[in-house]
Amino acid sequence: MRTRYHQELAELGTSLTQLCDLSATLIGHATRALLDADLELAEQVISDYGRVTALSAAAEERAISLLALQQPVAGDLRSIVSCIRCIGDVERMGALAVHVAKIVRERHPEHVLPAGFEGEFAEMGRIAVELAGNAKTVVGSGDPEKAAGLREQDDVMDGMHRRLFAALLDRGWKHGAGAAVDLALLGRFYERFADHAVEIGRRVVFETTGTLPPEQEVGTY
């Protein structure tokens, strides 16, 4: 019975790393669709999100079953509770990638990004993919130092987000209100994607040490 219990715990962790992988793929593809105005790739992101929701639902069901049937305590209890919270965060990361893809779909065949903003969003997309990959590594290793390090990458994303808003509010903005709204939303999506990755790191620290680092504001957008 205990062997099966620990096997279930391991499978729960594996599901979470798979979800991190999927979210990295989705945001990477969504960014490429954004840069290239690629409708087919945007549609693929939207469709592939179903894999995230299905895997999330199965993982949550497994976690709840473990809580109900095994009544874990101490470290095991923290592990399962943290995993449930992380599942919600990584599912939200996938949903944010879908938001990016939907803007691409709505504006197709036109490009969403005005000239001169491609490099900014290519970099934001790169950081987002890296954050999701590092979240996967942290979930697999349980290393609290690496988990805490996710915040440094988030700081870079936050800085890019602030610079984007400064450009949108500049009196010299000449791309129109519609483009400004699109870019404001896109910046928000990438910034929140990073926040959720940081939250996964916080939960890994809690799982390992029993103490939560200072809270990162995570929106529900």
Residue 218 included in any domain: no
Question: Could you give the number of structural domains in the chain?
Answer: 1
Residue 58 included in any domain: yes
**Other CB atoms closer than 10 Å to residue 10's CB: what's the count?**
10
Q: Is 201 buried (19+), middle (13-18) or exposed (0-12) by CB count in 10 A? A: buried
pLDDT per residue, tens digit, the chain (221 aa), is 556 766 777 788 899 999 999 999 999 999 999 999 999 999 999 999 999 999 999 999 988 888 777 665 666 787 888 888 999 999 999 999 999 999 999 999 999 999 999 999 999 999 999 999 999 999 888 888 888 789 888 999 999 999 999 999 998 999 999 999 999 999 999 999 999 999 998 888 877 776 766 665 444 33
Residue 221 included in any domain: no
Residue 162 included in any domain: yes
Of the candidates 158, 125, 140, the residue with the CA atom closest to the CA atom of residue 201: 140
Q: What's the CATH code of the domain at 119?
A: 1.20.58.220
Name the pTM for this structure: 0.90
Residue 30 included in any domain: yes
Residue 91 included in any domain: yes
Q: For residue 168, give its domain range.
A: 2-209
Residue 139 included in any domain: yes
Residue 216 included in any domain: no
